[in-house]
Amino acid sequence: MESCFGSAVIGVADALSLANYWCAAAGHPHRFSIAIATTTGEPVHGFSGISLESHLQLDPTQRPDVVVIPPLVGDVLSALGRDAALVEWLRGVASRGAVVASVCTGAFYLAEAGLLDGRHATTNPAFAALFSQRYPQVQLTPERRLTEDNEFLCAGSTTAFLQLALRLVDRYCGHEVAVLSGKALNIGTHIESQLPYSLFRSQNSHDDEGIRQLQEWIEGHFADNISTNQLAKVSGMSLRTLNRRFKAATGAGPLEYVQSVRIEMAKRQLDSSAKNVESIAIDCGYKDARSFSRLFRARTDVSPSAYRSRFGVAG
């Protein structure tokens, strides 16, 4: 895939190769034979511009045991159209019993192939609204860093490829080799929530100009006391029309969007300032710091102070 995240491709290959090393050290045969494949058999350029050499061309007769689709950086929906051959190939190998996995936005390819219908899945939380809007039949759990539903695995945000690789190692090499590999990679086999790491995206890549203008208004007035009646007045729509169009365009209700903007602005202040939580709550439109803290935890899985400890400027 052009513009894929090259570190995920090489990182998974390295982690599986490390598992092979531990297997050999214990006197066991290698469990993974690793190949990078492209639809044409030609190299592709990753997001950083680095060329990724292909070992083979995708073929409808191939019977791989495991397939991992890496993240794509850029316009995901346009890429799905461009990579239609890859989507079709995935349907074929899944029907022949392959374990199919994805990292981050790679889940869009599995969903586009219909492989995740009725199944649990995850992706980068920044793309959750778009994913749910396009694939409502998938049981998306964006707070989870890894999902496993029979033969289909999804890793969340980009660097979750290491957790995915360890899960594959555990599955094919056993827990002992997975633990050894995890220690060598300095990561644990326990999988935490990815919500503290999520980035807010304004979801404005849609064709509803009225909703786009309202999104811009919200992003400029998020600290105000905003109601749905006010949003309807600003947009010139009825409440019913506003709710319908906003949900269709962004995948979220208007007040849910307001809360997402506020929490993102709070996270930015916690990242970069020494302001106390009460002041940040007020800056972001909350009069009650306790209510703000409860909502912040519900959205991120951590308290504001714990978030600051993890991401704030070092003292």
**Does the global pTM surpass 0.95?**
no
- DSSP structure class, residue 96: T
Which of 264, 253, 256, 249 lies closest to 296, judged by CA?
Answer: 264
What crossing angle do the helices spanning 209-221 and 228-235 adopt, rounded to 10°?
Answer: 130
**pLDDT band for position 314 (50/70/90)?**
low
pLDDT at 157 over 90: no
Domains of the chain, earliest start first? 6-195 (3.40.50.880), 209-311 (1.10.10.60)
User: What values do phi and psi take at 234, rounded to 5?
Assistant: -60, -40
Q: How far is CA 276 from CA 34, 109, 269, 291, 304, in A?
A: 50, 43, 10, 15, 10
Element (H, E) at 296: helix 289-300
**Across 118-122, average pLDDT:** 97
191 pLDDT band, cuts 50/70/90, is low
| Separation CA 180–CA 174 (nearest Å) | 10
In this model, does residue 272 exceed pLDDT 90?
Answer: no
Band of residue 197 on the pLDDT scale cut at 50, 70, 90: confident
Q: Quote the pLDDT of residue 312.
A: 84
Mean of the per-residue pLDDT values for the chain? Answer: 92
β-pairing, 37-38 vs 56-57, is: parallel
CA distance 180 to 171: 14
